[in-house]
Chain A
């Protein structure tokens, strides 16, 4: 069947829309892969539910990326001009809108980085900004939410002082989005006692249609609170490397620490009720991020990853992330690297809920769950406070 080579075997049974999404959610598509997508579209365009495709791409936070690929690579055109899909304008506007939104975030977050540097606050930028600028190299392709920073715990008061001067407050937006009001005492208590690896987010109204609020997320540990693993944040900050981000001289995590951080985040979020409930547990964006970051790390540096993880206790998280990544994108990580983290018992790959509830096991495959739009019904988190504003 045309397009059968589009996705790995394990994903042949998922919906047409999910297969198209998986095939187009990547930063680069080879000429052969593009041809494969076109053949798939020519064969299936009548059956494809484009509304469902857009919904799925949005839920997986990759709509700007697939929109760019569909338009720029003319994948939704047969014979050069015959359209294979409706709503070309939606794809155009999503990509362009995301670029414009990220430009606004660039201007704001550059101010934050500059102020922190000027004040001598030591930090390392994580995730979004680093990925958009240094991995995707395309301001419109990846959606960025907040500015994620790693800080030493002792630096938090100085950080608070700097961002407060810039107009940020810990709290939630009011209904009309015009002000930030403090969290209720219950939320404050829960986060401070139980989520001590992160601060409550700092928000500032953006007064823009494309950005509701600017959000700063500071963490003081790469691991979740109560984790039995240990990573020395001081060492991570000492290894952090200079980088120009948002046009500002800045500091980002060293490439191996960045990988470890992403793997831990991916594992924690994929298995935490708090994230399952809001549908942000399993998203293609996280896997595409990981795919692209690994692609950019020289092999001899990648070989040092097992040594970096060492006896920190987070090898299972690295294996969880790499195992699922290579299911989605075969060859995304060298087999020997994945094998280096494989434990004797891999039963934890199907577990969830252990970080913030009772440990349970999924009764469906990874492929089924990944594209199930009703997955959130599975879990209910008791964690009070912020969910997602961006």
Chain B
């Protein structure tokens, strides 16, 4: 399993936070259209690989369970679950990392 370093921009700073195998395993379980052995790249379009509007709920529930977190309402935007980078950023943010800048609901989620 490749541990992709995720580049997260926060203001003028750029942080590199590799996602964990645990995260990748959860994510892979929810991408039914991802071919076996196909790498998960940072900008992979999750919706195109089976993470539908309904499937994202199961994914979030498992993510919250696996990492023992509760994702706050303001981070529950479709934009934050567009690709592995955005999801990992959300998770890092919720886990208390200061390395991730995450768009919040109403701030930048254009609808």
Contacts and interface: CB of A to CB of B under 8 A. Distances in A.
Interface of A: 153-154, 185-186, 188-190, 192-194, 196-197, 221, 223, 225-227, 356, 382-384
Those 4 A-B pairs whose CB atoms lie nearest each other, nearest first: A192-B76, A194-B53, A153-B106, A190-B57
B106 A193 contact: no
12 contacts: A154-B106, A186-B61, A189-B56, A189-B57, A192-B76, A193-B53, A193-B57, A193-B78, A196-B109, A226-B111, A356-B53, A384-B57
Contacts of A197: 111
A27 B21 CA distance: 64
A153 B57 CA distance: 23
B20 to A, nearest CB: 22
A194 B106 contact: no
A359 to B, nearest CB: 14
A221 B78 contact: no
Interface of B: 53-54, 56-57, 60-61, 64, 73, 76-78, 81, 105-106, 109, 111
Contact of B56 (A154, A188, A193, A225): A193
Contacts, number: 48
A89 B105 CA distance: 52
Given A185-B64, A186-B57, 18 more contacts: A153-B106, A185-B61, A189-B57, A190-B57, A192-B105, A193-B53, A193-B57, A193-B77, A193-B81, A194-B53, A194-B78, A196-B111, A197-B111, A225-B78, A225-B111, A226-B111, A227-B111, A382-B54
User: Which of A154, A194, A221, A383: most chain B Cβ within 10 A?
Assistant: A194
A194 B111 CA distance: 11
A187 B54 CA distance: 10
B111 A190 contact: no
Contacts of A188: 73
A197 B106 CA distance: 11
Contact of A189 (B60, B105, B106, B111): B60
A5 B81 CA distance: 56
B63 to A, nearest CB: 10
A383 B57 CA distance: 10
Given A154-B106, A197-B111, A225-B111, A189 B61 contact: yes
B111 A193 contact: no
A196 B105 contact: yes
B73 A192 contact: yes
Nearest to B64: A185
A221 B111 contact: yes
Contacts of B109: 196
Nearest to A184: B61
Contact of A196 (B56, B61, B64, B77): B77
A281 B60 CA distance: 30
Nearest to B53: A194
A222 to B, nearest CB: 11
A73 B64 CA distance: 61
B78 A226 contact: yes
Given A154-B106, A196-B105, A225-B111, A189 B54 contact: no
A226 B81 CA distance: 14
Contacts of B60: 189, 193
Contacts of A223: 111
Nearest to B78: A193
Contacts of B111: 196-197, 221, 223, 225-227
A339 B56 CA distance: 41
A223 B110 CA distance: 12
